[in-house]
Amino acid sequence: MLSLSVLVLSACGGGSGDSADAPPAQATAAAGERPAAATSCPPLQGTPVFQGRVPKPETVLGFALGSQEVSSEQAYQYMQAVDQASARVVTGEAARSAEGRPLNYAIVGREANVSAMGLQRVRDAVRKLRDPATSVAEAASLAASTPGILWVSANVHGNEESGTDAALRVLYELADREDCDAARILDNSIVVILPIQNPDGREADTRRNAYGFDMNRDWFARTQSETDGKLELLRQYPPLLFIDSHEMGQKKFFFPPNADPVYHEVPDRALSWINNLYGPAMAAEFNRLKIAFFTGATYDLYAAEYGDSVPTIGFHAAGMTFEKHNGDPIATRLREQYVAMWASLSAGAGERQRLLGEWRASQLEAQDQGQRGFLEPNAIQFDPKTPLYQEVPALQVRHYFFPDDPARQRELAQLVRRLQRMDVQVYRLTAPLQVPGYRPYGGSPDTAMLPAGTYWVPMAQRQKHWVQALLHEDPYIPTSYSYDVSGWSNPLLLNLPGGSSGAVLSPQASLVGAQAVPAWPAPAATPRIGLLELPGTAGFESAGSMRYVFEKVWKLPYTFLTPDKLQASLGRIDVLLVPDGSAKEALQTLGSRGQQALADWVKAGGRYVGYQRGAELAVGVGISTVVLKASGTATSGALVRVRLQNGSPLAAGVATTGSSVSRAWVMYDDDARMSPGLGVAVATFPPVGTPDFHASGLQTGLEELDGSAAIADETVGSGRSIVFSFDPNFRAWTEGTQRILWNALLGPNPALASAAAAAAPESARQGAVQGAQRAAQALPELDKPIRIVVRAADADATRALLQRYGTEFQESRRGERVVFLIANREELSGEEHPFAQDLAAELRRLVTPLSVRMP
């Protein structure tokens, strides 16, 4: 471990005590007075000395911080009051939420650093530090004189409130204190405080935002305005440290080090700061104050979607997730969040010059790695007993290329814009280029002649880690499990052709200018579309992401429906879209009359489009004969390639220019296995091991899908049902399969009806419907369960552990794999659940699971 050196600035106030108690003991200094010099000033151990210039929270709010939770309006009211009272603070607005609420931030530091000119100087200095062209001498001078940028953010989940209140306390104390403990932070840093990342969720007391997005899964995609504005502010003030404060169901406080898996392109220096500087600094204070905590949990430093992984991979920062038990009183939650925040800020400020030098070195090293085509190796970071699941292969990657495909202009623009807005340089070839060893996504290496106009992303740039994180074909996961998805390659999500090469090349190319927001093409005709939200949290999330796409991306009118309103609304719609959610609850709400009305509507010419449990609802109503069976896969969200039937209108525009084969990458999240029944399998999973098969992420058990249907299209009377086994709009990430969903909603009917469906007599159809319904009734009834997959040899130990926890679960065997689905009646996330993380940790001590999947 690195030793912590403390920069001695000035003496603490008289006496000693725990400054983390709320409210803190206060001494008031005369105006302009600075404490005398001292030999030691440990953080959080002296008596805070306040100037008395900044109003206390209770003066503005009418109550002390920690006596009740603040509202968004109250938080912003207090931030404004502090801004008006202190020259150390400036405030601004980073974004507006889905419902129009502001995301306000504060920047606090010495007056010379946070004035308009001071902030410009800091931005310019940081830009030069990150620029490889800056000389060694100038960089050393800047590292010695520039404040580090340290971030405190909170409340990305709206019902996890205490980080906000703690951040306001940090703001107050930095704005008004004048003692050595505060001076260490003020003299060495500017602190950007974003106390509320999800104001809509905070007001509604929901984890998600108004569109149903878990915005701690939105970081690379930036679909939500809240995320997008936050990242633009991060680009202005790139962090050395990024704190993301959360709450959880477990009863201790969590801070890093993180457990495995850790993404292989996480910068080494940033990971060292997390594990050897900030983690020990917090542990020392929590131990001293006798606050219970734990480390080594899988709160993700793997997928590039989170408030810890994206600042770390994308900005070379120490990105850290804090988790505090949500059942404690607000005073306790605030106090512990504050201790973690202050200890981290103090540690970062105390090592400012070293960290700035290493921060620059990290980015220079990334550029050098890209020049050499070097990929960082995989490693087990936390538990040496865990076997390394997948090594990063010994191949060189120096370039990524994307053809200028007329059929993919929107998706290309999206990818280029996404890269540019994380400061990646993207070029276009101005002359043809022969590329030896070209590795196309999902294909075999070969020499390729790339035409002028091809997009080129070189790895030889300081954002090399981010380039690899977004453009890889395989994420090379180091463990057989992940906290969330195991695959997120952006070209695959966008279904873009392209590839990489490790050859030493000197392309003739020009830098691409800033890419505008790509618009979705307007449809020739717009049917009347109804969007049915199924009950449950999954229903809110899935329908919410579709509301976002309709309103913000496609700009299509639609009618929002719930099961109790559906029957009365069928006469006003032509197409019904049914995403995921509780099909069984929806069937109960519809009742026999509602179900018959929906079936009659389809038979009379209506078009039903459903996915996941929306497909199950279609089976329950009798308008689809697909057979759904629970899967025994262990993928934790992998990208899997499917092949589409070219003659289907659902495949329109999916094939790349010049190709006779339509393929797409789907986000397969251990979804049900589907057979088409009397319908047509428009998209199928190729057999594992064949040239058509390819997957990115964990692939355990994918052979179960061999030849099964991913999309089924079926004629029903004069109408049509189209069902997907997977989510074609997964978190609004999967823009490649959004195109297929668009075709399902707005495209023409097939020229020829399914021969099987057209020729089958009514008795045969009824038999197929009944068989499909029997299969659907056998599907697990647990919504948003914790999903554990183990080897058959480990099933007894796993079962005994679950029984000891006293939890309800369902068990099924798939050959040499056994799947355990653990009841989660309140549909809690993995963080919110009271024992999910403890269970997962204990399970990994007993066996090596194939998959542990939290909701």
Q: Mind giving me the DSSP string for 186-253?
A: HHHEEEEEE--S-HHHHHHT-SS-TTS--GGG-TTT--SHHHHHHHHHHHHS--SEEEEEEEESSSSE
Task: Give the amino acid at 482.
Answer: S
Task: Give the amino acid at 514.
Answer: A
Do the bridges between strand 318-325 and strand 241-248 make them parallel or antiparallel, or are there none, so unpaired?
parallel
Beta-strand ranges (E) seen in 155-196 are: 189-194
Q: Report CA 428 to chain centroid distance, whole Å.
A: 29
Nearest-angstrom CA–CA distance, 546 and 650: 18
- Whether the CB-CB separation of 644 and 761 falls below 8 Å is answered with no
Band the pLDDT of 2: cuts 50, 70, 90.
very low
> Residues, the chain, total?
855
Q: What are the pLDDT digits (tens) for 405-462?
A: 998 999 999 999 999 999 999 999 999 999 999 999 999 999 999 999 999 999 999 9
- Whether the CB-CB separation of 711 and 722 falls below 8 Å is answered with yes
When computed from its CA atoms, the radius of gyration of the chain, rounded to whole angstroms, is 28
Tokens of 702: 């994918």
**Residue 6 reports pLDDT greater than 70:** no
Residue 115 backbone phi and psi in degrees, to 5: -65, 170
Q: What are the pLDDT digits (tens) for 668-710?
A: 999 999 999 999 999 999 999 999 999 999 999 999 999 999 9
Position with higher pLDDT, 271 vs 850: 271
Nearest-angstrom CA–CA distance, 310 and 238: 12
Q: What is the CATH number of domain 786-853?
A: 3.30.70.120
Q: In what order do the strands lie in the sheet with 189-194?
A: 89-96, 102-108, 189-194, 148-154, 241-248, 318-325, 253-254, 293-294
Q: What is the CATH number of domain 529-629+673-680+708-777?
A: 3.40.50
Domain boundaries, the chain: 13-366, 399-511, 529-629+673-680+708-777, 786-853
What is the pLDDT averaged over residues 203-224?
97
What is the pLDDT averaged over residues 353-378?
98
Nearest-angstrom CA–CA distance, 112 and 118: 5
The CATH architecture one would assign to domain 13-366 is: 3-Layer(aba) Sandwich (3.40)
Residue 29 has what pLDDT?
A: 43
**What's the half-sphere exposure (Cβ side, CA atoms, 13 Å) at 652?**
12
- Whether the CB-CB separation of 751 and 652 falls below 8 Å is answered with no
User: What's 751's DSSP letter?
Assistant: S
Element holding 722 (H helix, E strand): strand 719-724
Q: Quick check: do 13-366 and 529-629+673-680+708-777 share a fold?
A: no
Note the maximum CA span of the chain.
95
Band the pLDDT of 8: cuts 50, 70, 90.
very low
pTM of the model: 0.93
DSSP-assigned states of every residue in 264-289: TTS-HHHHHHIIIIIHHHHHHHHHHT
Those residues with Cβ within 8 angstroms of residue 285's Cβ, 6 or more apart along the chain or in another chain:
43, 44, 291, 339, 340, 343
Residue found by looking up tokens 């850290």 in the block: 320
**Residue 784 reports pLDDT greater than 90:** no
Band the pLDDT of 759: cuts 50, 70, 90.
low
Lowest mean pLDDT among 9-23, 176-190, 750-764: 9-23
Element holding 91 (H helix, E strand): strand 89-96
Those residues with Cβ within 8 angstroms of residue 32's Cβ, 6 or more apart along the chain or in another chain:
none
Q: What are the pLDDT digits (tens) for 272-299?
A: 999 999 999 999 999 999 999 999 887 7
Among 323, 277, 316, smallest CA distance to 300 is for 323
| Measured CA distances, 369 to 265, 421, 485, 607 (Å) | 11, 22, 27, 52
**pLDDT > 70 in the chain, percent:** 94
Residue 760 has what pLDDT?
A: 67
User: What's 753's DSSP letter?
Assistant: -
**Residue 24 reports pLDDT greater than 60:** no
Residue 850 has what pLDDT?
A: 86
